[in-house]
Structure 1
């Protein structure tokens, strides 16, 4: 069945000598993997790999067959052409990190138009923004809504947040309880959208500590979650 599908590139992997396997998050079918045969063999084919950079937004014409693990792309074009995401070293570090996160946590082979729209709009915001050092923190926090473990927004006046239950509490419950600077930042981020990030002023140490907290939160609620290999690169770039 040949259809058109809007897609966001999550990852690509060399397969055999000249092929690529590209995993995408698609608007119509959720996570889909495509086999690009011979794309590394010729200059013409190599030129097409520019489409498959991390988190590229594409419109593809696909040959999709049910009960098949790998599908095929007959035509591809950009849905949105990034101006800075792949050329700015700082944004590229964020893109590499978030693509690894999304590739890890997105598993469903069914559509979720709200999640697709969230990712699409958020990446376009990042592409056009000049102040973005805390973007990935808010992105991950907002992503929890679509993954089913968004922090509740009641009782935000309490002095602790429980990472295991995802709720604010009045008392300390040990290793899962968050307080202090991390709690303050969590409350701030829960109350804003991306255009409010400019008001968040933190240093690199605070940023890294809160990011580690978020990753631990993901790990607690997603059994298969793995710390991204690109975390070290991200921390070095924003140090």
Structure 2
């Protein structure tokens, strides 16, 4: 079926001498994998390799067979050109890290328009703002809402957070309960939005520890999820 849809690039892997295998999360069809033949050598045509950088927002014309096989992309063009995400070193490192998380976490091969809208809106905000040191933390926390394990903040006043149940509580009930400074950071992030992120003051140690806690939270709730290899690069850049 020929379809025109917006899509966000999760990854692009070189295949052979001139081909790319591209994973995109599309608005109309969920996660799709495309084989782009000859795109690395072609100077003509409607597909350019430069379009498939991590988390690029595209408008795609594709033929979807919807049989779990590699799909065929006819055309692609930028839908939301970025001003800084692929040129600012810090932002491009965050983009690399987040694209790896998304590749590991999002497996849906059916439409999820609310998740797509969240990704689209968040990445556009990130591109347009300068004070973004806490962006990746808030993004990963908000992403859990669309993956099914967003923290229940009904009892947010309690001092302990249960990573296994995703709840705040008074006493520890298992080995996955935390009661350190990460709980306070979590409470702050649960009570804010993107435009207020810069008011949350964290040093690099706090930021790194909270990120490790979040990734542990992902590992507990997503089968097969592993900490991104790009985490080391992200920590080096922030340091």
TM class by shorter chain equals over 0.9
Compared CA separation, residues 19 and 191, structure 1 to 2 (3 A) = same
Compared CA separation, residues 197 and 13, structure 1 to 2 (3 A) = same
Aligned to 1:77: 77
Contact kept, 8 Å, 2:160 with 2:183, in 1: the verdict is: yes
Q: Which runs of 5+ in 1 are unaligned?
A: none
Residue 81 of structure 1 deviates from its aligned partner by 0.1
Contact kept, 8 Å, 2:47 with 2:76, in 1: the verdict is: no
The TM-score normalised by the length of structure 1 is: 0.97
The TM-score normalised by the length of structure 2 is: 0.97
Q: Give the SS at the match of 2:9.
A: strand
Aligned to 1:208: 208
In the TM superposition, structure 1's runs of 4+ consecutive aligned residues that sit over 4 Å from their partners are none
Q: Which runs of 5+ in 2 are unaligned?
A: none
Mapped to 2, the partners of 1:100 and 1:20 lie a distance apart of 17
Report which stretch shifted further, 42-51 or 92-101.
42-51
Written as runs of structure 1 = structure 2, the 5 A alignment for 1:33-112 is 33-44=33-44, 48-112=48-112
Aligned length: 239
Contact kept, 8 Å, 2:51 with 2:77, in 1: the verdict is: yes
Contact kept, 8 Å, 1:5 with 1:59, in 2: the verdict is: yes
Aligned to 1:13: 13
Q: Give the SS at the match of 2:48.
A: helix
Residue 172 of structure 1 deviates from its aligned partner by 2.3
Q: Do residues 123 (structure 1) and 123 (structure 2) align?
A: yes
Q: Over aligned residue pairs, what C-alpha RMSD do you find? A: 1.4
Written as runs of structure 1 = structure 2, the 5 A alignment for 1:161-172 is 161-172=161-172
Render the CA deviation track for 1:28-67: whole Å, top value 9, x for unaligned: 1110001100111234479811110000000011111131
Contact kept, 8 Å, 1:204 with 1:238, in 2: the verdict is: yes
